[in-house]
Chains A and B, each alone.
Chain A
């Protein structure tokens, strides 16, 4: 099927099998490998992207379902070498160790901060509930998000 998707401002047209998950479309067809595949079962959140302004897990969505939509991935956050304040905060607060979960964490936290610029600690925790990290113990991730909250 012909699918047209705008990813990080660039419009792509591709012929896609309906069975292809959005995460594979992003990684394999568009070579945007920033979004990761962690669990493949919808639990870990490493594949989280923002679809028409809404945070979703791209392993629980077919690429054809994104036809006509606008997708934001972790590659779209920084302006060239200029990190977003949130990305900079992840760096400064040591909010990652292996970094595998980080693209998903960044997208979830970005979605939160757009909707709720001054989240409480509970709101941050609830917003990151769908993202699993096996290294940091989460504390530094919370600190990083809190540090850029208005």
Chain B
């Protein structure tokens, strides 16, 4: 397919990328491109300029700190995360990334691209909220850190604004996590998903039911279904599921994810 005409820039550093993004209104960061190139084909996005982040070492790498905090560069691919020994410190990350799409997409798609595109059917936004991730955003004024709960603002919209870049994601130590989804075929697009983390109380973030992940908390996995009901979800209907069915799935999947998390 022939895309609309677009300029292409490959900056040599994050600072240069930020300058280019800030100086060009129609510029957009290109991460792995496994979403962006496709939405450009459909003309759902028509950037004037692509700023390719590939090759920027500052945006790569997975580090495990002494306190168990994982710091993951935004341009880390799903495949790199799945293969990473450090990332096993929080096992749910590689488990979920291994179920995203297929080998080819996992080889190119990045963790930063997944959260910044914030498609409501993506796997990582609810997971980032459940595990309490912290996102570092770089802009003209320096860096700031935003908790995942405040990062996702709307469909395809995050706290990472124009002229800014998500540079890395910090994930605290933990093992008691779970993830459950109903998908279109094995490892397909999520119809509804839930990520859970148990640390004293149970945190469950639901995906596909609203513009942003919906966080519910409960004292125990048994209380999760009630907490989901109390959230009064009004998920959209589409060709794959009615609103009522998604509401039902949200309860079931939240409970499943919480139960998985509790026994680890």
A residues adjacent to B (C-beta < 8 A): 1, 17-21, 24, 40-42, 45, 48, 54-57, 59-62, 64-65, 108, 111-112, 126-127, 129-131
Contacts and interface: CB of A to CB of B under 8 A. Distances in A.
What are the 4 closest A-B residue pairs judged by CB atoms, nearest first? A130-B102, A18-B8, A19-B3, A129-B102
A18 B6 contact: yes
Contacts of A20: 2
B105 A127 contact: no
Interface of B: 1-8, 30, 33-34, 37-38, 41, 50, 52, 54, 79, 101-105, 107-108, 186-187
Contacts of A61: 33, 37, 108
A111 B2 CA distance: 28
19 contacts: A18-B7, A21-B3, A42-B38, A45-B104, A54-B108, A57-B104, A57-B108, A60-B33, A60-B108, A61-B33, A61-B108, A64-B8, A108-B104, A126-B103, A129-B102, A129-B187, A130-B103, A130-B104, A131-B102
Nearest to B102: A130
B186 A129 contact: yes
Nearest to A63: B8
B1 A111 contact: no
A130 B8 contact: no
B36 to A, nearest CB: 9
B103 A55 contact: yes
B79 to A, nearest CB: 8
Nearest to B32: A60
Contacts of A131: 102
B33 A62 contact: yes
B5 A57 contact: no
Nearest to A49: B104
Given A18-B50, A60-B38, A45 B6 contact: no
A57 B33 CA distance: 11
Given A18-B7, A18-B50, 9 more contacts: A18-B8, A40-B41, A55-B107, A56-B107, A108-B103, A108-B104, A129-B186, A130-B101, A131-B102
Contacts of A56: 104, 107-108
Nearest to A17: B5
A54 B80 CA distance: 11
A48 B107 CA distance: 12
A65 B3 contact: no
A19 B103 contact: no
